[in-house]
Structure formats: C-alpha cells, structure tokens
Amino acid sequence: MTEDKERYIAELRSQGLVVLTKAEHSANEEYKEAIAHWSDTARREAQYVFCPRDANEVSKAIAFATKFSLEIAIKGGGHSCSGASASNDVLIDLGKHINTVAYNEKEQLVTVGGGAVWQQVDEELSKHGRATVGGTVQSTGVGGLTVGGGYGFLSGQYGLAIDNLVRAQVVLADGTIANADDKGVYMDLFWGIRGGGSNFGPVTSFTFKTHPVGQVWTGLMTFPPILLEPFFNAAQSWFRQAKDNEAANIFIGCSPLGPGLVLLPFYNGSEEDAKKSFGEFLAMNPGNGPPGTEIGMHPYMYANTLQNLMTTAGDHKAFKATKFNHWDIPRFEKLFKDFSQLVGAEPSDEQDVKDLAADPAITGSSVVIEFYPHNHIGKLKSGDTAFANRAAGFGMLFVPRWKNPDLNEKALQWARARAAEVDQREEKLGGSVKGKGGEGTEGYSNYGSGNERSQDVFGGNYARLQGLKAKYDPGKVFNKWFPIEPTKA
C-alpha cells in the first residue's frame, strides 16, 4: 500500500504537481508554512501536502486522496481555529499558488483564486477605486470567509460576500471541474457553496461584483472601564440611527493598562456626516489606538488593517459565536467582569479561569461585538442561499488566546460557557431570533468553535443541503466543516 502511494506520488510529481510529504519534508520551511494556521490549535502534520497550481491539479490531488481513502482538508487562508482546514492525511493548500486576483474593468467584476487573502483583493481593487464585501482583517482567506457567508464593513450597503458572488469554479469529489452560477447546470451547487462551506469541494476561483469606494472615516477609539455604561448607551443610540453606509465593531480587550473598550467605527461617506453619526462617542473624549489606527478619513483598505495588531498569528486561539438582539447594560457589565477575570485583572473562584489567567498569552484574548446594518443582508431570506444566519442581530464572538496546549479544552469551555450565558439572558429578555424563519440556531458559522451540530448551523437549509451532498459528494470526501449527511438514496 505504501509503495502504491509512493508510486502514485512519483507519477503526480512527474506531471509537475508539487507534493510535500511529512516523511520527506517535515523539517522544510515550505512544508511548515503549508501546515501553519492562524491558531496553533488548528495545526496538524499532514502526511501529504498538495500545492496545486490550478483546478486540474486540485482534481488530481482529490483523486489521490479518494483512491487511498485518506481524509482531505482544504486550506485557503488558514484562519479557521477548529481544524476544519487541517488534516493528518491530505492537505490541499490553495494558498501557495491559486491566489491570483484580476479585475475586469468592463464587467466591474473581480476574479480571485480560492487561496488568496483579502489583502490581495483590497490592494488590486484600490487601484481602480473599487472594493467588494470582504474580510475586515486582511490576512483572512477569501476562500473560507466566502463559502461560510462573509461579513465586511460594506455589508450594510451590499450584503454578504456571497451576495456579491457572481460565479465560482469548484472541483467536485469525483474530480469534475464545475463552473457554477445562478443560471447554469450547476445552479444548485451555486446555492450550496454560498454558505455551505467546504462541503462540496475546493472553490478554485470566485468572481465578485465590485463597488465604487473612496475615502472612508474610520480608526480606533479607546475607552476606560469606568465609561462602560455611557459607552454601550452611545452604541445603542448610534445603531438606532445608523444608515447602510456605516458599521461598527466593539472590542473588550486588554492593553498594558488592563482591560478596556475599543470602538472601530466605519463610515463610507463624508467626515462631517461621520462625526455627526458617531458624535456621542466623540463627546466622551476617547483615547487613541496604537500608531497606524488614527481616526480620520482614509482609503477604504485602511479599515481592514486596523485589527492587525489584535489579530496576529501564533499561539492557541478559539472562536465561539452567538447572536443577540436585546441591548442591556447588565449583560455588558457581566461580560466585562468575565473578561477581566480571564485575563487576571480581577480575581476568580474558578480554578479553570485561574489557570487560564496565568497563561502568558491570555491578555491577547478579546470579546467582539459586530454591528452591520441589516437591510441588505436581510434582502435575501435564509433559504435563498445555503447561509442560514440572516436575521437581524448583533454578532458576538469570544476569542480566548493562550500558549499552553494543556489549556485547550479549558479555553474552549470558557468561550462556550460565555456564549451560553448570552443565549440564556437573551431568552430571559424576550427570546432569541435564532432558529426563527429557517435560521440556524447557532451564531455565525465562520465563527463556530467546531462542536456545533450541522443541523443547528444550517437550520431550515439542512435538508436541501443533504440532497445536494447526495448528488455531489455522496461519499463525504469533504467532511471537515459542519459535515452534511447525504440523503439516503
């Protein structure tokens, strides 16, 4: 069997396909780079790493893995914390070569390789005064972010990344290269990849609509804990009147001074209007963020660099998301206290929290609350694409960061427990939007911790996805991200 594999690999290499193996290359920088992830928690030492140059080579890699019944992981930008883009068997690394970005002036569309990161898209489109809905952190992969939905600062105006997707090229489990759009023979597949994640195979190219964009008003503002109540009250006044061209992210994070609050406002319009809209925050005399995050008018791309310092690669990290609708100060006070205990700024009686607080990387943790005006996201219903998380609400994300791998489970549990508390309080305050009208009952899938049930993530779309899975991947070759059980024949 091993000899068969070796012969097969030798044959693929003779055809020009780059294959790195753990046996031959584990000390090699190229191999290490390929298996590296944003979070060390997601790192696996794949036996075979394929670095294809095009869809045809991706197809060959899939054929190898299926012939020998090896687990496949597809890696785009490598930002998943859950291990969805990592495998001990076969890793198909799209990021190495399938990462070109080409803007078509006539069509005003951009075509992006499945392994590109958003920085490349931002940079190319900025040359043309345009942008698409993409990640708010430039190192994030286009691939994973898009197939899982995709929120960005322009979501209020133009919806999700998938709402801007015009066509995509997908390599299916049987090796077929499918060109999918909303009219052709792969119309159903096009529905499935818009929210169904990597369940149908690697997307080797995405073509998105683009939009004109000039200077935007953005930057970071910081607020001390003493201002927690007026800060969250200001946030409420702001979002009640916010227009589609606005967005905001709120962070509970830690500076050398200890835990505090950070606001990232985004306004795609004039400085004068922006200052009016975010005036209540400005009146609180906020502090500045680190150099390079100054509030003011900047190129659109600048907004997507503001979180760079808070989101560096390395260490272990976990994601856990939820969604809420009721804006109440006690919730935020409790969250702030929990966070302060996590980072050791306040005492805790819980041994697990004490253990986490002692970790040298824990102060890099954060809690993120995201607000994107809902009109355009809600124009489509949950069943219109496979993405089942369109209801209005505030996304909340827990991101513990730590060094010691022995704390992996404790950190995950901390994040999951906090999300569960948010959900319980939401029920108390009048009920959650989650699970209504075909919505999934989990938070944003791309922020999942990995243990969510696929049925809960995909909500009312799960049955249809099962049918598609039976059609395009009945053998569950792609099974790493909220796996879908194919409908029985």
Ligand X SMILES: Cc1cc2nc3c(=O)[nH]c(=O)nc-3n(C[C@H](O)[C@H](O)[C@H](O)COP(=O)(O)OP(=O)(O)OC[C@H]3O[C@@H](n4cnc5c(N)ncnc54)[C@H](O)[C@@H]3O)c2cc1C
| Least distance in angstroms from the C-beta of 71 to ligand X | 12
289 near ligand X, rule: CB under 6 A = no
The reply on whether position 202 binds ligand X by CB under 6 A is yes
Q: Which residue has the tokens 């001390």?
A: 224
Distance CA 188, CA 434 (A): 25
DSSP 19: E
Length of the chain: 489
Report how far apart the first and last C-alpha atoms of the chain are (Å, whole number): 32
Q: Is 145 in the site for ligand X (CB under 6 A)?
A: yes
Q: How far apart are CA 259 and CA 343, in angstroms?
A: 8
Identify which range of 43-51, 135-143, 331-339, 463-471 contacts ligand X by CB under 6 A.
Answer: 135-143
Residue selected from 197, 265, 448, 486 as contacting ligand X according to rule CB under 6 A: 197
Query: Scanning residues 86 to 115, which ones bind ligand X (CB under 6 A)?
Result: 94, 114
12-41: which residues touch ligand X (CB under 6 A)? 38
Instruction: State phi, psi for 234 to the nearest 5 degrees.
Output: -65, -40
Cβ pair 251, 262 in contact under 8 A:
yes
481 near ligand X, rule: CB under 6 A = yes
Given the complex with ligand X, which of 407 and 477 has the nearer CB atom? Answer: 477
Looking at beta carbons only, is 227 or 264 nearer to ligand X?
264
Residue number, 168 or 345, with CB nearest to ligand X: 168
Which 381-400 residues touch ligand X, going by CB under 6 A?
A: none
Of the residues 60, 79, 194, 323, which one makes contact with ligand X according to CB under 6 A: 79
Query: Under rule CB under 6 A, which residues in 429-448 are in contact with ligand X?
Result: 446-447
Nearer to ligand X, 180 or 234 (CB): 180
**Binder of ligand X out of 12, 51, 74, 396 (CB under 6 A):** 74
Give 57's contacts (C-beta < 8 A, 6+ positions apart).
16, 17, 50
77 is an interface residue for ligand X by CB under 6 A: yes
147 binds ligand X (CB under 6 A): yes
Does 344 participate in binding ligand X (rule CB under 6 A)? no
| Least gap, CB of 173 to ligand X (angstroms) | 12
311 binds ligand X (CB under 6 A): yes
Asked whether position 150 contacts ligand X by CB under 6 A, the answer is yes
CA–CA separation, 310 vs 435, rounded Å?
32
Q: List, as one string, the DSSP characters of 317-385.
A: E--EEEEE----HHHHHHHHHHHHHHTTSS--S-HHHHHHHTSTTGGG-EEEEEE--STTGGGS-GGGS
Instruction: Determine, following the binding rule CB under 6 A, whether residue 414 of this chain makes contact with ligand X.
Output: no
| Closer of 341 and 371 to ligand X (Cβ) | 371
84 binds ligand X (CB under 6 A): yes
Looking up tokens 């690669």 gives 313
Say which residue the tokens 């994040």 belong to.
Answer: 415
The verdict on 198 binding ligand X (CB under 6 A) reads: yes
Residues 456, 445: Cα–Cα separation, whole Å: 10
One DSSP character per residue, 382-446 reads: GGGSS----SS-EEEEEE-EES-GGGHHHHHHHHHHHHHHHHHHHHHTT--STTSTT--SSS-GG
CA 261 to chain centre: 22
Q: Which residues bind ligand X (CB under 6 A)?
A: 38, 74-80, 84-85, 94, 114, 135-137, 140-141, 143-145, 147-148, 150-152, 197-198, 202-203, 311, 446-447, 480-481
